Amino acid sequence: MNNDRYLLALDAESVRRYDKNGNLHVTVSHLTKAQVRPYYGHEVPDWERLRLDPQKIYRGYCPPEELSKPETIESTNGIPIQLNHHPDYADAPQIKTRVGSTGTDGAFRAPYLDNSLHFTVEDAIKRIVDGSTRELSLSYRYNPDFTPGKTPDGEDYDFVMRDITANHVALVEQECGVAVSLRGSELFLTGEAEDAGLAESVILKLLEMIRRGDLVDRTRIRYAIALAREGDVDRIDEILRSVVAITHRGKQIRCKTLGQQEYVQAIRDHDLTFAVGPAGTGKTYLAMALAVVALKNKEIERIVLTRPAVEAGEKLGFLPGDLTQKVDPYLRPLYDALYDFMGVDSYQKLLERGVVEVAPLAYMRGRTLSDSFIILDEAQNTTSEQMKMFLTRLGFHSKVVVTGDITQTDLPYGKKSGLAEAIEILKDIPEIGMVHLTHKDVVRHELVQTIVKAYDAYYHREAEGQRP
């Protein structure tokens, strides 16, 4: 499924009207355009069979003769309009995110494929009216024909998009607020002076990254835009310059956000560090990376990984198998990170020698952990008593990293999280690192950021006593 590059298509008041039910109708709007677009190999359908390099840029041509086919035009009639991209099928309809539908008057008017739009959800209509959302993205299937060539304008391409069939139209969040066009070797930015300046700074920074061989994906582009809006676009270099660790396969691990960079530095500077933030911010993975580095540099003698097995009620004796088999399901994310940095064989050898220890939190009681790098994961599921017990295990020449998400506790209702309590009690002690990661630091699929933001807004409304 291809998510088409964005088109500014909702800024003409003259083509809008409202019906008596408050729905917004856009008489005509551009859905997509005949042009050449860049795609990473992994974005091209059937890329594995075609043996494409997943990180290489391929230029795909969407030609007018394909967009003008009757079956392609017909496929744009009556399809859902989604708030951001959600593939929508008859057997898996995305009802909750639908904000309207296209009309039944699809037409190709070179170089654009057009249709009317009908919006039926108040929030989406408000976004369009106030100008905060003016961008459309057509999602469609196509067959890639890897026959390279040149467009009539002399633009090179690697493949042609054939047999285009639309799935949905997405109303997407505005990025820089400018239109970007390529004419020959020149890039043109059209928009307000401030927005164009923002876009220019982002593009120049991304070009620097590409020349260095850095991966530039959509997540990184969005983050660069966010930094530019805050006047910090130059700081993206701070993130990329520093290598945190190298996996056993030779891949360099770098911080991807300023929040992650702050987190890594806090661990380096403090014997005890708390990191609170949503899933996908790299809390566990980066801590594991630094633990392995410390072990390889002989700064510590062992790595201890632990988390509360709250889902089992810590009653591990009632579960079948030995200790490893009992806790495996709860510690799997820790294993996965260790495999990345050590490899399975090296990990097994270190485990047998006691250099690496993986155990549930309940097994930490009564121990003193010296010359160790200790990671307590999913700490939001600790009780007050467990957290105090754990923190008092810290021995000489050791580092402790405590990670968790206080919005995702699995403790029984009414039971206070030991992590939340510890942060409140210890927040003013300068020798302890306190890092708060946010949705901006999420480095998974961009939709995860949107989900985290939505939940944060929901909890905020609840805290203020408002109806969700």
pLDDT along the chain (468 residues), means of 10: 55 73 91 88 90 87 96 97 87 91 95 94 84 79 95 93 94 61 57 70 76 67 73 68 78 82 92 91 90 91 84 47 56 75 85 84 78 91 90 88 87 84 92 89 66 65 54
What is each CA distance from 274 to 101, 301, 395, 401, in whole angstroms? Answer: 47, 22, 17, 6
Domain boundary among 174, 194, 218: 174
Q: What is the pLDDT of residue 63?
A: 96
In a domain, 82, yes or no: yes
Cα separation of 38 and 207, whole Å? 14
In a domain, 56, yes or no: yes
Q: Are residues 99 and 190 in the same domain?
A: no
What is each CA distance from 59 to 150, 155, 183, 226, 285, in whole angstroms? Answer: 11, 10, 15, 27, 34
Q: Are residues 303 and 404 in the same domain?
A: yes
In a domain, 372, yes or no: yes
In a domain, 319, yes or no: yes
Q: Are residues 331 and 261 in the same domain?
A: yes
Strand order in the sheet with 372-376: 356-360, 302-307, 372-376, 399-404, 272-276, 432-436
Strands (E), 158-212: 159-172, 179-183, 186-190
Q: Are residues 37 and 7 in the same domain?
A: yes
Task: Say which CATH number the domain at 407 has.
Answer: 3.40.50.300
In a domain, 468, yes or no: no
Cα separation of 22 and 299, whole Å? 66
Q: Are residues 160 and 288 in the same domain?
A: no
In a domain, 335, yes or no: yes
The β-bridge partners of 150 are 156
Residues 6+ apart with CB under 8 A from 433: 266, 267, 269, 270, 272, 273, 274
Q: Are residues 22 and 143 in the same domain?
A: yes
Please name which of 89, 214, 279 lies closest in space to residue 205, comparing C-alpha atoms. 214
Cα separation of 313 and 294, whole Å? 33
Please name which of 177, 188, 165, 130 lies closest in space to residue 6, comparing C-alpha atoms. 177
Q: What is the pLDDT of residue 453?
A: 65
46 CB-contact burial (10 Å; exposed 0-12 / middle 13-18 / buried 19+) = exposed
Q: Are residues 128 and 275 in the same domain?
A: no
CB atoms inside a 10 Å sphere around CB 324? 11
CB atoms inside a 10 Å sphere around CB 113? 28
Q: Are residues 8 and 56 in the same domain?
A: yes
- By residue range, what is the domain housing residue 206? 184-237
In a domain, 179, yes or no: no
In a domain, 366, yes or no: yes
The β-bridge partners of 18 are 24
Cα separation of 89 and 209, whole Å? 38
Q: What is the pLDDT of residue 145?
A: 97
Q: Are residues 118 and 159 in the same domain?
A: yes
Domain boundary among 121, 142, 174: 174
Work out how many domains the chain is built from and give that number: 3
Q: Which residue has the tokens 């408000």?
A: 126
Domain boundary among 174, 195, 213: 174
Cα separation of 212 and 291, whole Å? 28
Q: Are residues 361 and 231 in the same domain?
A: no
> Reduced to 3 states, what is the DSSP secondary structure of residue 220?
helix
Cα separation of 168 and 100, whole Å? 10
What is each CA distance from 304 to 283, 342, 371, 401, in whole angstroms? Answer: 16, 15, 10, 11
Q: Are residues 216 and 140 in the same domain?
A: no
State both tokens at 376.
């307590």
φ and ψ at 386, to 5 degrees?
-65, -40
Q: Are residues 94 and 222 in the same domain?
A: no
Cα separation of 291 and 356, whole Å? 10
